[in-house]
Amino acid sequence: MVDLAEPGVLGPQVGEYRAPRTQRPLRIVYVWDADYPWDVRTEKICATLTSAGHDVHIVARNRAWRPTEERLPEGTVHRMTPWRWLGQRLDAALGFPAFFSPRWYALLDRTVRQVRPHVLIGRDIPLAPTTIWVGRRHGVPVVLDVAEHYPAMIQVIYETGRQRALDYIVRNPAAVRAVERYAVRRADRNLVVVDEMVDRLAAMGVPRDRIDVVSNTTPRSRAEPEPPRRDRAPGAPIELVYLGNLEVARGIGELVDAVALLRDEGLAVRARIVGKGRDAELFQAQARDRGLTAAQIEFLGYVDRDTALATVEGADIGVLPHHYNDSWNATMPNKLFDYMAVGLPVVTSHAKPCARIVRETGAGEVFEAGDARSLADAIRRLASPAARAACGAAGRRAVLDRYNWETETGVLVRAIERAANAASQAR
C-alpha cells in the first residue's frame, strides 16, 4: 500500500517544478515515443514526480544516437540501442513508434525488467498497446497520458491532403481509432488535458473515476515577475508571435493571410513564427506569394526553449490560429498558458477549450477559425496598447490564481499513486 503525498510537505525543486513529498517512493517508467530531450509535457510530469520523491525513468527513441542511458534531473533516460550498421536513416525508420514494433516492445520489456517499476505511464496512442502488453506481462499497472485526440489529429492530416506514403501504413485513421479504443479501456487510469476529453473517453466506455484532468498549464513562477514593458514607438509594428508546429490544421495559413490583409489596410504588424513542421515550406511560399517581407513575417524555425520563451516575452500578441475540429476541440496547447503567464494578450480561434478559457478570463480575443478576415479583425481589436495591457494583465492573473502547474501537481501525483495502490490491493 502506497501512502499518498502529504499536503504542504514539498520535495526538492527539479527545474521549474516542485511537488508534495510522498511518504513512500515509487519506481515509475514513462514511455515517450520520440527522442528525449525534449518534450515539455514529458519534462513537467517526470520532474514533478521526481520532486515528489519517486524514482523516474523515461523510455525514448534514439534517432540522434545519443547514449543509451543518461541521468537527467527529471529522470533516467533509457534510449533505444542504435543499429549503427544500418546507417542513421534506416535505423531511424526501423525505430518508428508503432505499437506492433518488436524493437519497441523489446526496449520497454528490457527496461521494465531492469527497473522493476510500480507504474508504467504511456504517452499518447502510438505505443499505448505496447505499454499495456508489457505492463500485463510484468503485473505493472498502466496509466495512459492522453495528451491529444490522436485519431482526430491523424484524420486532419488526411483531410488536408498532407499525408505521406508511410502514413497510409502507420498512421491510418481507422486503425488509430481502433488502437485508441482498445487502449483507453484497458488502462488502469487515463490522464487528459481538458474536460472535453473526459466526456469523450466516458462516451467510449471509460469510467469517469478512472480519468484525471492534468492540463498543460505553466508553472506559476513564470507569471510571478512583472511582465516586460511593451512600449512601442509611434508607427512601430505590432509584434505577433506563434509558437508551435507548422501544419495546415494549426491555422498558420490564415495567420499569413491576416498579416497581408492588415498590411493592405495600413495597420503595421509583424508576425514571428517559431517552430518547424511538415508544412513549413508551404507557408513560406504563401508568404512570398502575398508579397510579405521579413519585416512583416519571419519564420524562425526550431529554436531552443529559452529563445522561444524570450521571443514570446518580446511580443505584443500571442496567436493561436488552430482550426475548429475534433482534434483542437479536445486538447489544450501549452502555448496558451505560456502567452498568458508573461502578460501577453491572446488571439485564439473558437476551438472550444482555448476559446472557453480566453473568454472566461478576459485574456484576449476570439475569432472564427479558418477565417483570415476574422483573425485580422481580432488583431485589430487589440491594436490599442491599453486594450493589450488589460487583456495581458487578466491572463497573467488567471495563471497566478488558477491556471498553473501547481494546481495540476496534486492531481497528477495522486493519480499515479492511486494506480499503484489499486495494483497493490489487487495482489
List the CATH number of the domain containing 230. 3.40.50.2000
How many whole angstroms separate alpha carbon 72 and alpha carbon 42? 12
Question: Based on the domain organization, do 178 and 264 belong to the same domain?
Answer: no
Question: Does 412 lie in the same domain as 368?
Answer: no
Are residues 155 and 299 located together in one domain of the fold? no
Q: Take residue 294 and report the three cell numbers written for it.
A: 521579413
CB 228 within 8 A of CB 345: no
> What pLDDT is stored for residue 172 in this prediction?
81
What is the band of 48 on the pLDDT scale with cuts at 50, 70, 90?
A: very high
pLDDT (mean) for 74-88: 97
d(C-alpha 169, C-alpha 43), whole Å: 30
Q: Specify the pLDDT at position 264.
A: 97
**Same domain, residue pair 312 and 420:** no
Tell me: do 65 and 167 sit in the same domain: yes
Helix (H) / strand (E) containing 269:
strand 269-274
CA distance 379 to 365: 8
Tally Cβ neighbours within 10 Å of residue 243.
24
The answer, yes or no, to whether residue 158 has pLDDT greater than 90, is no
**Which cell numbers hold the place of 118?**
510500480
State residue 227's pLDDT score. Answer: 82
Would you say residue 1 has pLDDT above 50? no
By the 8 A CB rule, do 338 and 243 touch? yes
Q: Is 313 part of any domain?
A: yes
Of the candidates 350, 344, 338, 424, the residue with the CA atom closest to the CA atom of residue 382: 344
Q: In what order do the strands lie in the sheet with 189-192?
A: 69-72, 75-79, 55-61, 27-35, 119-123, 142-145, 189-192, 211-213
Farthest CA pair distance, the chain: 70
Torsion of CA 410, 402, 198, 358, to 10 degrees: -160
Q: What is the pLDDT of residue 7?
A: 59
Cα–Cα distance, 272 to 262 (Å, whole number): 15
Domain-embedded: residue 57: yes
What pLDDT is attached to residue 234? 79
Of 3-17, 93-107, 300-314, minimum mean pLDDT range: 3-17
What is the CA angle 298-63-94, rounded to 5?
125
Contact criterion met (CB below 8 Å) for 82 and 52: no
Are 362 and 239 in the same domain? yes
Same domain, 238 and 262: yes
Q: Is residue 241 part of a domain?
A: yes
Considering Cα of 274, then 276, then 277, then 281, what sign does the dihedral take? positive
**Is 322 a member of any domain?**
yes
How many whole angstroms separate alpha carbon 408 and alpha carbon 217? 8
First to last CA, the chain: 11
Question: In this structure, is residue 14 part of a structural domain?
Answer: no
Summarize the confidence of residues 130-134 as an average pLDDT: 98
pLDDT tens for each residue of 162-220: 666 666 556 688 889 999 999 999 999 999 999 999 999 999 999 999 999 999 999 99
pLDDT recorded at residue 228:
76
In this prediction, residues 85-105 reach a mean pLDDT of 94
Arithmetic mean of pLDDT over the chain: 93
Distance between CA atoms of 128 and 125, rounded to whole angstroms?
5
Contact 27, 116 (CB under 8 A): yes
Whether residues 163 and 299 fall in one domain: no
Domain count, the chain: 2
Question: Whole-angstrom Cα distance, residue 326 to residue 133?
Answer: 28
Same domain, yes or no, for 52 and 149?
yes
The answer to whether residues 210 and 272 belong to one domain is: no
pLDDT attached to residue 38: 86
Q: Please report which confidence band the pLDDT of residue 2 belongs to, taking 50, 70 and 90 as the band edges.
A: very low
At 235, is the pLDDT very low, low, confident or very high (cuts 50, 70, 90)?
Answer: confident
Question: How many whole angstroms separate alpha carbon 117 and alpha carbon 110?
Answer: 12
Q: Where are the beta strands (DSSP E) in 22-118?
A: 27-35, 55-61, 69-72, 75-79
In a shared domain, residues 87 and 116: yes
- Do 202 and 341 fall within a single domain? no
Cβ atoms of 194 and 213 within 8 Å: the answer is yes
The verdict on residue 10 lying in a domain is no
Question: Quick one: average pLDDT of 301-328?
Answer: 94
Q: Please check the confidence at residue 108 and state whether its pLDDT lies above 90.
A: yes
In a domain, 5, yes or no: no
Contact 292, 263 (CB under 8 A): yes
Range of the domain at 248: 221-401
Strands 189-192 and 269-274: unpaired
User: What is the reported pTM?
Assistant: 0.93
Whole-angstrom distance, CA of residue 337 vs CA of residue 349: 15
Residue 395 is assigned to a structural domain of this protein:
yes
pLDDT for the residue 174: 86
Q: How far apart are CA 397 and CA 320, in angstroms?
A: 20
Q: Is the pLDDT of residue 5 over 70?
A: no
**In 302-371, beta strands by DSSP E:** 317-320, 346-349, 364-367
The C-alpha angle with vertex 39 and arms to 27 and 146, in degrees rounded to 5, equals 70
